[in-house]
Amino acid sequence: MKQFSRIIIVLSLVFALSLPGNAAADPVVNVTDSCTPSATDGSSETYSGKYLGICALVAAKEQGAISSYGLSYFPGFGFFVDSLNGTTADSSSQYWALYKNDVYSDTDGLSTLSVTSGDTVSLKLSDFSNAVVGPVVTIRIGSLVTTTPVPAPASPQRGGGLTLHVPFDVPLALNFLAGAQRADGSFDSLMLSDWAAIAYAGGGAGDAKMRLAQYFIANPPALASVTDNERHAMALEALGINPYSGTSVDYIAPIVSAFDGTQVGDPSLVNDDIFALLPLLHSGYTVNDGLVIKTTAFIVSQQKTDGSWAESVDMTAAGAQALNMIKTFPGVSDAIAKAISYLRAQQKTDGGFGNSFSTSWALQAISATSDSYIDWSQGYFTPQYYLATQQQTDGGVEPATTDVKTRAWATAYAILAVERKTWHSLLASFEKPGTAAPEIQETATTATTSSIAPTPAKPAEEPERLSSVTAQKQEIPAYQESVAPVSEPASSTQATTTLARISPQLVQTASIAAVDYEIPNLWKWLLAFLLLAFAGGIVRGFRKRRKFER
C-alpha cells in the first residue's frame, strides 16, 4: 500500500509539472496595421492597412516582449528571420520555423501572415526536417491598433445642406487606448494607468483590462498625496479589486487619516473632499458615518454663489457627480441644481465646454443627474457631438500632433462620457475590514453618479484651464503624480497566483481572453485512473483493518 501511494504521488507530480500553466505566460503584444521593418543589410519595406506577422514582430521588440531580431529581405517574398533574442540560425542546416496558433505555416511568411487579436505567433529554431533544435519564442496578439488613416463614412445631412460629423467610435477609441498600453499592462504614468482602468471598467476592453489589473496587484505603488490614494482606490474598485486588501497596500486608510474632523486634506481646497466621497462610499462608509456627513457639509459650504466649485467646469462637474450619490442630505439637491445651472452657462456654441477634458466630465455630470441630452443641444450640437469632432481617424481624442500621453488621457475620459457611464456606476463596493464580505465584487453597469481623483490638468495649449485646475486641490500637475518607486514586476506566474487568491472573478475573465491551456485527454484518463485506484486502495485497506479487528 505504501509503495502504491508513493507511485501515485510521483505520477501526480509529473502530471502537475507537465501542465503548460506552469510555464510563464506568453507575452501579449498590441499590433498596429502599419510598420516599416528593416533587414540587417539596410533594406526596408513599409506595410500598411493589414495586421501582419511582421508588424507583430516589430511591435514585440518595441514593447519589450523580445530583446532583438535580425532579418533578411528577399524582393517578392518579404522578410525572413535570421536571429531572435541573440540566437542566430545556422543557414546551412537551420531556420526559424513560423507557426500560427501552433500550426506550421507552410504557405505564408511573416510578411504575408495575417493575425488577429488572440492569435499566437511562434518562431521555433528548427532543422530542415522541421524538428525543433533550439529556442521557441511565442507572442500573443493583444489589441489591434489602427494607424492608417481611414476615410470617414458618408456623413448624414440635414435640411439646408448641413453636414454633420460621424458619431464617436467607442471600439476604435478603446483600441487606441490599448495601443498606448505597455507590455506589462501599465501605461506611461500611474495617473494614466488609473484613468485607463476606470475607462476599461465600462466594458469592451478585453485582455487589456485583465493585464492592467494584474499589473496593479503585482506592483502596488506607495503614494504620498491623498488625491493619489483617492484616484488609485477608484481605479482598483473599477477593476473589482479590494482597495483595502486586494494588494499589499491599503489605499483607504490614508484617505481616512486625512480627515481632520471637518474635511479631508487641505482645508483651503475642495477637490480632495469631492474625490474622497467616491472611494469611501464604495468601501463600507455610508451616509451615517460622521466622516461622510462632515465632508459633504464642507463641500456644500465651499460652493460659490454662481454654482461652481473653484470657478471650474471640471470641479463643478465632479462635485455634481459626487453629491448626486447622497442628494438626500440637507442642501445637497440645491447645490446640485446650482452646479448644473453653472455648467449650462459655460457650454459653448459648438456643444462642448471649451475642450475635450472638461466636456467629458460635464457630460458625465449630465448623465449622473439624469438630464436629457436634448436639453443640452446648441442648435444641432451636443456635448457628445463635440467629443465626436475631437476624435481622430486612429480612434484617439485630441489632434494627432498632441503627445500620446495626453491623447490617451483624453480618450479615457471621453469613452465613459459618450457611453453615459459615471464613475459611481462603475465601481465595485466593499466592506470595511473586519466585516464579512467577499473581497471582489462585480462592477455595476447601470449609469448614475460620480467618482475620483485630481481634477484633470489641461494640455499645454490650454493655459486658462491649467491655471484653474492648479488652483484646486490638485497636488499633482499634469502627469507628475508623486509616486514612490515600485518593485519590479513579478513574473506572470506569480501575478496569476496572487490574482487567483485575491480575485477569482478576474481569473475567470482571464480564462476567456488568455491562452486556453487544455489538459490532453490522455492525462485526463490517467489522472482519473490514478484517483480511482487510490480510492480503491483506501477502501481495501479499510476492509482489511475491519476484518483484522473482528
Q: Which residue has the cell 492569435?
A: 119
- Sketch the domain layout of the chain as residue ranges: 1-19+519-550, 28-145, 168-510
Secondary structure tally for the chain: helices H, strands E:
19, 12
What is the Cα–Cα distance from 168 to 218, expressed in whole angstroms? 34
CA-based radius of gyration for the chain: 28
Which tens digits make up the pLDDT trace of 16-40? Answer: 444 443 445 788 888 888 888 888 8
pLDDT tens, residue by residue, 199-218: 999 999 989 999 999 999 99
CB neighbour list of residue 83: distance below 8 Å, 6 or more residues apart: 68, 69, 70, 89
Measured CA to CA, the distance from residue 417 to residue 385 in angstroms comes to 11
Q: pTM score, two decimals?
A: 0.55
* Burial track 202-239 (b if 16+ CB lie within 10 A, e otherwise): bbebbbbbbbbbbbbbbbbbebebbbbbbbbbbbbbbb
Q: Which CATH number is 28-145 given?
A: 2.170.130.30
Cell 475567470, residue located = 508
Fold match between 28-145 and 168-510?
Answer: no
- Region for residue 371 given its phi and psi (left: phi exceeds 0; alpha: psi -120 to 50; beta: otherwise): beta
Instruction: Using alpha carbons only, give the angle 215, 171, 45 rounded to the nearest 5 degrees.
Output: 85
pLDDT tens profile 251-265: 999 999 999 999 999
Q: Sorting pLDDT into bands at 50, 70 and 90, what band is 541?
A: low
Q: Which residue has the higher pLDDT, 273 or 2?
A: 273
- Confidence at residue 540, expressed as pLDDT on a 0 to 100 scale: 65
Q: Do residues 284 and 435 make contact, with C-beta atoms less than 8 angstroms apart?
A: yes
Q: Which of 285, 208, 292, 282 lies closest to 246, judged by CA?
A: 282
**In DSSP terms, which residues pair with 84 in a beta bridge?**
69, 87
Question: Strands 162-163 and 69-74, how do they pair?
Answer: unpaired
Q: What is the pLDDT of residue 524?
A: 55
Strands across the sheet with 94-100, in order? 28-32, 132-145, 120-127, 94-100, 103-104
- CATH code 3.40.47.10 for 168-510: no
Comparing 75-84, 90-99, 171-180, 348-357, the range with the smallest average pLDDT is: 75-84
